[in-house]
Structure 1
Amino acid sequence: MSHLPDRLYATPQAQLGDFAFNEDVVRVFPDMIKRSVPGYPTIVENIGVLAAHFAQPQSILYDLGCSLGAVSQAMRRHVRSEGCRVVAVDNSAAMISRCQEYLNAQDAMYQELLPVQVLEADVLTIDFAPTSLVAMNFTLQFIPPEQRLPLLARIRQALLPGGALILSEKLCFADAQQQTLLNDLHIAFKRANGYSELEIAQKRSALENVMKPDSLEVHRQRLLEAGFSQVVPWFQCLNFASLVALP
């Protein structure tokens, strides 16, 4: 499938609405995420590797906030546990529609892949079945802060012994100098990937009301409060990180 370049914020916009995962974003999302999130391909592929480690036979694997299904595809490439299936969930109809197309294309290229159920739903309201692996790849930061702990507690309750939650997030930092340095380095990363100052500024404005990042310590404490016993960072590139939380 062809991917369009991300030029959504390349021209001045008199009124910037809040960022939304709509049809416009879906059309350019692969380019957008690659040029905006340092280490994204490495995170996605290794979530597949981690999923293969934690997946248990006859269990469900969740991809919450699946967007175009990159994590679901990685799970299907790596998990070989018998009887597993993936449930991919997103509340964007545009994302879900394109996700199904990508999964169908993957089916045409490979044999004996895990089955995937694609759901258009709010991760805050779905009933979790017993699961050995839950992936939230840059999803929690778009959920209202007061609803994050209850969601994580429900995920913890659904996890089978020996299972895991993989949580990837943009981080903020309590230390002002560290925050400034990593923010500046992230902007340099975007510039190096061809984004203009206008694009960087307009997208930042569009995101400020809908994406609320937390610090690593806030994530750790919240996960422990939700009932997880261990929280282990396994990846960080600039201000983006991924954690494994164990029940």
Structure 2
Amino acid sequence: MTQQRDTIYSAQREQLGRFAFDEQVVEVFPDMIQRSVPGYATIIAMTGVIAGRYAQQGSNIYDLGCSLGASTLAMAREVGDKAKLIGVDNSAAMIARCQSYVAESKTTSNIELIEQSIQETELQNASVVVLNFTLQFIPEADRQTLIQRIQEAMLPGGILVLSEKICFADPHLQKLNEELHLEFKRANGYSEMEIAQKRSALENVLIPETLHSHRQRLLDSGFSSADVWFQCFNFASMVAIK
């Protein structure tokens, strides 16, 4: 399928609505996320490798907030028929497009896609769970409950991959990483107006936390270990082992 360039915020808007994963975003999402999230391709590829290493025979693998299925398909290529892959997203537009990508991929893996809030998804018999840039859109007050539910649904030796935009307690590091991220987006062709308008649309929608907060939540939820395996600027991916 042809990938469209992200020009959603290229024209001045009198009113900016809250950012939403609607049909307009779906059309440009692959381009948007590649140009906005440093290290995204590496995270997706290695999510597949990690799943291939930790998938247990006959278990479930969950991609929570699967969007267009990049992580789901990366894992399918590594896991094969060893486990069932379940992709969940609350955006009807995302799930519809994801279905077409899965069909186009002709993967032999057992993939089920569900249009549903991940806070309502029944989780069980999980050897691998992936939250790639998803938890940041869940209300902060609900995050502990979700992580706890994931941990309880996982098999011993299972792994959670958690990728997020992060913030820093140190003001200097926060400013530095924000500015490096801005330069990354400028280098990828985003104008100052596009950057400013998208930032406004995401305000109070995407709420980042520090790595310390993420790690403490994971440990408090019963994971035996949790740490960063990848970081670029203010984007990081962690693994937590049950």
Instruction: Give the aligned residue type for 1:150.
Output: T
DSSP 3-state at the match of 1:29? helix
User: Which string of whole-angstrom CA distances, capped at 9 and with x for unpartnered residues, describes residues 175-212 of structure 1?
Assistant: 00000000000000000000000000000000012100
CA distance in 1 between partners of 2:64 and 2:121 (Å) = 10
Please list, as runs of the form range in 1=range in 2, the aligned pairs for 1:185-196 lying within 5 A after superposition. 185-196=180-191
Are 2:137 and 1:138 aligned? no
CA distance in 1 between partners of 2:109 and 2:131 (Å) = 19
The range that moved more, 87-96 or 232-241, is 232-241
CA distance in 2 between partners of 1:128 and 1:153 (Å) = 11
Counterpart of 2:171 in structure 1 is: 176
Instruction: Give the aligned residue type for 2:149.
Output: R
Counterpart of 2:44 in structure 1 is: 44
The alignment's C-alpha RMSD in Å is 0.8
Q: TM-score, normalized by length of structure 1?
A: 0.97
Contact 2:61–2:84 (Cα < 8 Å) also in 1: yes
Counterpart of 1:162 in structure 2 is: 157
Contact 2:68–2:98 (Cα < 8 Å) also in 1: yes
Q: TM-score, normalized by length of structure 2?
A: 0.99
Aligned partner of 1:152 among 144, 147, 152: 147
CA distance in 1 between partners of 2:12 and 2:47 (Å) = 37
DSSP 3-state at the match of 2:127? strand
Task: Say how many residue pairs are matched.
Answer: 242
DSSP 3-state at the match of 2:146? helix
Counterpart of 2:85 in structure 1 is: 86
Counterpart of 1:106 in structure 2 is: 105
DSSP 3-state at the match of 1:188? helix
Q: What stretches of structure 1 move > 2 A for 4+ residues in a row?
A: none
DSSP 3-state at the match of 1:165? strand
Are 2:51 and 1:56 aligned? no
Are 2:221 and 1:226 aligned? yes
Unaligned runs of 5+ in 2: none
CA distance in 2 between partners of 1:235 and 1:97 (Å) = 30
Unaligned runs of 5+ in 1: none
CA distance in 1 between partners of 2:63 and 2:161 (Å) = 10
Identity %: 55
The CA deviation at 1:83 is: 3.8
CA distance in 2 between partners of 1:223 and 1:208 (Å) = 25
User: Which string of whole-angstrom CA distances, capped at 9 and with x for unpartnered residues, describes residues 24-43 of structure 1?
Assistant: 00000000000000000000
